[in-house]
Structure 1
Amino acid sequence: MNTAQQARDDVGASIKAPPDHNHFPRLRRRRRRWVLALCAALVAAGGLGTAFAFTSVNDTQEVLVVSNDIKRGETIEAGDLAVVRVSVDPALTPVPGSQKAELEGSRAAVDLWAGTLLTAQAVTDNLVPGEGESLVGISLTPAQMPSEPLYGGDVVRIVTTPGDQGEITDREPVTIEATVVGLNRVEETGETVVDVSVPEAEAAELAARAATGRVALVLDARER
C-alpha cells in the first residue's frame, strides 16, 4: 500500500469512529447525585429545626416571676410580680401566671429576689410564728420522742422528765402544749431539732426546760 492510500484509510477511520462522549455524562450524573443528596439533607435539617421550634413553643408556659425584692413577711403587691412565658423544668412548681391577681395581698414566706421564679411554697397567708406565738427549737434524742414521723401541724406536748438521778415525785410533770412547725435531723449527733410554736407567755419556760435536756415530746391523737 502506498503512502497516499494509507492516508486516505486513516482519514476514513477517523470519520467513521464515533466520538467518545461517555466521560462527560458520567461526571454530570455523579454531580447530580451529590446535589440531590445535599438538597435532601437540607430539607431534613429544615424539618427538624421546624419541629424543634414547634416543640419548644408548645413546652413553654406562663408563670410568675418576682419583679422587686420582697423580704420575708412583707405583703406582695401588684407591681412585685410579672407574667413571663418560659420553658419550665418538670421538677419545679412555679405559680401559673393566671394566679397573679389572687396572690396580691399575700405574704412572702421567704426572702424573694427579683428575677426568680415564684413557687407556691414561697407564698403564705399566715406567717409562722403568728401573732402572739413564739417559735422554740427543742433538741431531742430518739429516746425523747416517738418513732412515729412528725409532720408540720401536729399537736404535741413537751413534758418535763425526772432529774439526772431518775427521781420521781408526786407532783404532776410540767406539760406545755405546742404545734410542730418543722424538723431538722442532725446527722453528727443523731438528734432531731423540732421547731414548735407556743404562746409567747410559755416560750421562755419551754426554752429553759428544753435547755436542760430533761424533756420528752408526746404526740397526741391526730384526729380532732
Structure 2
Amino acid sequence: MPPPKLRRRPALVGAALVAICLGALLAAWAWTATTNTEEVLVARQTIERGAVIQSGDLARVRVSVDPALHPVPASQIDDIVGQRAAVDVAAGAMLTPDSFTSTVVPAGNNSIVGVALTPAQVPGLDLAPGDHVRVVVTPAQGAGPPAGAPPVSDAEVAGVHVDGETGQLIVDLLVPHADAAVLAARAATGNVALVLDSRER
C-alpha cells in the first residue's frame, strides 16, 4: 500500500515566512537602536545661568542623538559638577560644551549688588539671568523727581529669587565696580525701579 501524500498548506508556509521576516526586521531594528544610542547628561531641573552645577542637577539618559549636537557624555559628569551654567539650561535639555563654564561670577572689574523690589518696581515680564536692565532712581513719597541722580546703566541680571519672609523680589545685578557703591546706596532707600532693556544673551 503506497504511503499517504502530505498535503501542503500554502497559508501556513506563507505565515511562517512572514513571521521569519518580521523577526529579522525586529532584530535588525533593535541592533541599530542599541548601537546608535549614547548615554548623555541632561538637566534634571532648570539650571539658571551662573548657578554652580550640582550632581543633583544632572541625570544620565540613553538616547539616540545627532552627533552634530555635541552632547556631553555621561562619563564626564565629574568634570561638569562644580562648574557654572554658561546659559539657562531647561529641565530635560541635553548639556553641550557651551552649557557650562569655569568662569567665576562676578569676574574682572564687576560686582554683584542685590536689590529688593516690589511688583510695582519691576517689569511685568519675569526677569531672568542675562537680562539687561537699568536702575532708575524714583522720587520718595511726596517728593519731586530727584535731581542729579542719573540711572545706573548696563546692569545685567545675575540671579532672581523671592525673599520668603518679605515676599519681595531680590534681583542680583552685575555692575561695574565704579557703579556698585552708588547702586547699593540707592537700593537701600527703596526708591528705585528696574527697566528691562534687552533679553539678548
TM-score, normalised with respect to structure 2: 0.52
Select which of 21, 44, 48 maps to 2:22: 44
Select which of 122, 126, 129 maps to 1:145: 122
- Against the structure 1 CA distance between its residues 139 and 44, is the aligned structure 2 distance closer, same or farther, given a 3 Å change threshold? same
Q: Higher RCO, 1 or 2 (CA under 8 Å, sep at least 6)?
A: 2
- Take 1:35 and 1:220, find their aligned partners in 2: how far apart are those partners? 74
Select which of 125, 134, 139 maps to 1:162: 139
Gaps of 5+ in 1: 1-18, 66-71, 74-85, 98-106, 111-116
- Take 1:206 and 1:170, find their aligned partners in 2: how far apart are those partners? 15
How many residues of Structure 1 are paired with residues of Structure 2 in the alignment? 165
| CA-CA distance at 1:123 after TM superposition | 2.3
| CA-CA distance at 1:48 after TM superposition | 2.0
- Against the structure 1 CA distance between its residues 190 and 38, is the aligned structure 2 distance closer, same or farther, given a 3 Å change threshold? farther
Q: Secondary structure at 1:29's aligned position in 2?
A: coil
- Take 2:146 and 2:17, find their aligned partners in 1: how far apart are those partners? 96
Matched, 1:177 2:172: no
Trace 1:70-89 onto structure 2 (pairs within 5 A): 72=52, 87-88=63-64
More deviation, 46-55/145-154:
145-154
Name whichever structure is richer in helix by fraction: 1
Contact 1:158 1:218 in 2 (8 A): yes
Larger Rg over CA atoms: 1
The equivalent of 1:101 in structure 2 is none
Report the identity percentage.
38
Matched, 1:128 2:105: yes
- Take 2:160 and 2:178, find their aligned partners in 1: how far apart are those partners? 25
Select which of 73, 83, 95 maps to 1:108: 83
- Take 2:95 and 2:197, find their aligned partners in 1: how far apart are those partners? 36
- Against the structure 1 CA distance between its residues 89 and 209, is the aligned structure 2 distance closer, same or farther, given a 3 Å change threshold? farther
- Against the structure 1 CA distance between its residues 216 and 33, is the aligned structure 2 distance closer, same or farther, given a 3 Å change threshold? closer
- Against the structure 1 CA distance between its residues 88 and 141, is the aligned structure 2 distance closer, same or farther, given a 3 Å change threshold? farther
Gaps of 5+ in 2: 43-51, 54-61, 74-81, 86-93
The equivalent of 1:195 in structure 2 is 172
The equivalent of 1:217 in structure 2 is 194
